[in-house]
Structure 1
Amino acid sequence: MQLEPTTTAASGDPEVPKFAPLSAFEQNGKKLEFRRVTVPQHRMTPLKNAWMQLYKPVTENMKLDMRMNLKSRKVELKTTPETPDAANLQKAADFVHAYILGFEIADAIALLRLDDLYIECFEIKDVKTLRGEHLSRCIGRLAGKSGKTKFTIENATKTRVVLADTRVHILGSFQNIRICRDAICGLILGSPPGKVYSKLRSMCMRLNDTL
């Protein structure tokens, strides 16, 4: 709605229209946006130790404001008047969230540089209900001896996988996440690693042929 100046009865001069003062979140005609990433208690110490490695890419490269709220255990991110792009804000929030989930900073930083990377999370019980020793054996089958199975799946599908207790986190492109997820689900359902590897190899070859 456009405000039209009114005149005073005495002088006939136009009155100065009164506007509400701009808040700190509305500068240069742009509304500043926020993102908050919750940090679990067990990830607070690693976050503090790696804080500068997370802080510099977000503030220097993405030109965003970032701080750690120790009281609420949240990492708070905010756009600045110079860079009010919400896309960068979401990338930075995904980057911090990826580190909190357990991904290495060198892997998580790819979320800042590339547009087609995603994170998918699911629990083992979403695939098959397992308890006790059966669940422990399943987690061991996913990791393999000295992490060999996990590394093989990661290298074949060009993804990164984090096994956090009964949760599985996958970082990669949409197509590669789907192939990685199918391989992990096969292991959870009890397929032998050799059968999963051969199926994985054929799917990766088919994907490379279509590219």
Structure 2
Amino acid sequence: MSTEAPTSMETETVASKTKLESNTLPPKPKFEPLKAHEMSDGRIQFRKVSVPPHRYSPLKKYWMDIYTPIYEQMKVDIRMNLKARKKCADFVQAFMLGFDVPDAIALLRLDELYVESFEIKDVKTLRGEHLSRAIGRLSGKGGKTKFAIENATKTRIVIADTKIHILGSFANIKIARDSLCNLILGSPAGKVYSKLRQVTARLAERF
């Protein structure tokens, strides 16, 4: 057995080999994707959404238009309880609020879309004719005012009695809501249009 000390080259080789072995990590484990029932510990998850009486007939009419994209794209089962008039899954709740089918389906495809709801009384307490006039200002003649706000802010607006629902991106919902609130507070439509054009112009320049 040799008692000679290892040369410097041998020492560097051993050190490099030891360092390489210490830096070598084990391969990453490969896991199969979880199935839906495994993500919920085997429990079936569901949600019930009440159907307002005035949306029951449209729901039956457009049922397949609603069911098909939800089942095919989201892989979510959905069914209608004809006795209790409730439906499962929360993806079509926008339809229940009064939005058209394409608008409701857009919530499935775009992550940045939201729905915000509020009532006229949340902005100002109005009764009788004052309330009726406020609702009239929100819609305008033939829905002209509502359409103008929708087109300028790229949103969809539903005015259901004293409740207002807005579908759109976070920033655009805020612009539309401010315009609607100004109308409720009594601002003339012309003044609201003017301010709306200024805000949307600044928003367009920013993006």
TM-score (norm 1): 0.77
| Pairing partner for 2:175 from 176, 179, 189 | 179
Where does residue 77 of structure 2 map in the other structure? 65
Structure with bigger strand share is 1
Q: Distance in 2 between matches of 1:108 and 1:167?
A: 18
Between the aligned partners of 1:26 and 1:164, the Cα distance in structure 2 is: 38
Change (3 A) 1:176 1:26: closer
Structure richer in helix, relative to its length: 2
| 2:165 match: secondary structure | strand
Paired residue type of 1:158: K
Which AA in structure 2 matches 1:98?
A: A
1:157 and 2:153 are equivalent in the alignment: yes
Measure how far apart 1:64 and its partner are: 1.4
How far off its partner does 1:27 sit? 5.6
1:13-37 deviations in whole A, cap 9, x for unaligned?
A: xxxxxxxxxxxx9569654321221
In the aligned structure 2, how far is the partner of 1:27 from the partner of 1:70? 30
Which 5+ residue runs of structure 2 have no aligned equivalent? 1-35
Larger radius of gyration: 2
Partners of 1:162 and 1:154 in 2: how far apart? Answer: 10
Quote the offset at 1:129 in angstroms: 0.7
Identify which of 94, 101, 114 aligns with 1:98.
94
Cross-structure match for 2:201: 205
Q: Deviations for 1:20-72, whole angstroms, at most 9, x for unmatched residues?
A: xxxxx956965432122111222211111111111111112211111001222
Structure 2 counterparts to residues 38-57 of structure 1, below 5 A = 38-57=50-69
Q: SS of 1:116's equivalent?
A: coil
The count of aligned residue pairs is 171
Deviation at 1:191, TM superposition (A): 0.5
Whole-Å Cα distance in 1 between the matches of residues 141 and 38 of structure 2?
56
Q: Which amino acid is 2:175 matched to?
A: I
Query: Which residue of 185, 189, 192 maps to 2:185?
Result: 189
Residue 122 of structure 1: aligned partner? 118
Q: Give unpaired runs (5+ residues) of structure 1.
A: 1-24, 78-92
RMSD after superposition? 1.6
TM-score, structure 2 as length reference: 0.78
Aligned equivalents of 2:42 and 2:176: distance in 1?
Answer: 41
Q: Which residue number in structure 2 is paired with residue 167 of structure 1?
A: 163
Change (3 A) 1:210 1:27: closer
Give the % identical residues: 64
